[in-house]
A and B are shown apart, each in its own frame.
Chain A
Amino acid sequence: MSGTEKFGVLARVLHWGMAVMVVAMLFIGAAMVASPTAYDALQDVHRPLGMLILVFTVVRFVNRLRHRPPTLPPAMGRWERVAAKGSEYLLYALMFTLPLIGWGMLSAAGYPIVLYGPLRLPGLLPSDPALYAMLRQAHTVLAYLLFAAFLTHACAVLFHTLVLRDRLLGRMGFRMTFRRG
Chain B
Amino acid sequence: MSEGATPPPVTPHRPELSRRSALLGLAAIGGVGTAGIGGLAYAGGRFPADRLTPARFADRFEQVYGKHAGFRRNHAKGVSASGYFTANGAGAAVSRATVFVPGRTPVTGRFSLSGGLPDAPDAAPTVRGLGLLFPLPDGEQWRTAMINLPVFLDRTPQGFYARMLAAQPLPGTGKPDPEKMAAFLAEHPETAKAMAVVKRHPPTSGFDDSTYNALNAFRCTNEAGDTVPVRWALKPAGPVRPADTNAPPPGRDHLFDALIAKVAQNPLRWRLLLTVGRPGDPTDDATAPWPGDRRTIDAGTLTIDSVQTEAAGNARDVNFDPLILPDGIAASDDPLLSARSAVYSQSFTRRAGEPKTSSPVDVAKAQQTQKGQ
Contacts and interface: CB of A to CB of B under 8 A. Distances in A.
Contacts of B45: 30-31, 33-35
Nearest to B325: A114
Contacts of A84: 3
Nearest to A134: B353
Contact of A112 (B21, B55, B139): B139
Chain A interface mostly helix, strand, loop or mixed?
helix
Contacts of B183: none
Nearest to B323: A40
B182 to A, nearest CB: 26
A163 interface: yes
Contacts of A26: 40
B11 A37 contact: no
Nearest to B353: A133
A165 interface: yes
Interface in B315-370: 317-319, 321, 323-324, 327, 331, 335, 337-339, 341-343, 345-346, 348-349, 351-353
B49 interface: no
Nearest to B312: A129
B189 interface: no
B44 A158 contact: no
Contacts of B139: 112, 120, 122-123
A151 B22 contact: no
Given A109-B348, A155-B29, A37 B39 contact: no
A48 interface: no
Nearest to B350: A133
Contacts of A154: 32, 36
Contacts of B337: 40
Chain B interface mostly helix, strand, loop or mixed?
helix
B43 A30 contact: yes
B13 A3 contact: yes
In this complex, the interface size class of chain B, counting residues with CB under 8 Å from chain A, is 35 or more
A39 B338 contact: yes
Nearest to B41: A30
A31 B51 CA distance: 12
Contacts of A79: none
A33 B3 contact: no
Contact of B339 (A37, A111, A162): A37
Interface of B: 1-5, 7-11, 13-15, 17, 21-22, 24-26, 28-29, 32-33, 36-37, 39-40, 43-45, 51-55, 57, 138-141, 157, 313, 317-319, 321, 323-324, 327, 331, 335, 337-339, 341-343, 345-346, 348-349, 351-353
Interface of A: 1-3, 26-27, 30-31, 33-41, 68-72, 74-76, 81, 84-85, 109-112, 117-118, 120, 122-123, 127, 129-130, 132-134, 136-137, 147, 151, 154-155, 158-159, 161-166, 180-181
3 A-B pairs with the lowest CB-CB distances in the bound complex, closest first: A34-B45, A133-B353, A162-B25
